[in-house]
Structure 1
Amino acid sequence: MGENRGAQRRRSRPTSHHLDVCDADSSELERHLAFRDYLRANPKAFLTYATLKKNLADKFRSDREGYANAKSPFIQKFCPICRGGSDFLAGMMPA
Structure 2
Amino acid sequence: MTDQDKQQDGTVNPATVKARTSIEQHRGKEDMQVQWPTCLESCLGVTAGKATPEVCLSKLSDAAWESNHAQFKAVLADVAEWIDPALKI
TM-score tier, shorter chain, comes to 0.3 to 0.5
Structure 1 length-normalised TM: 0.36
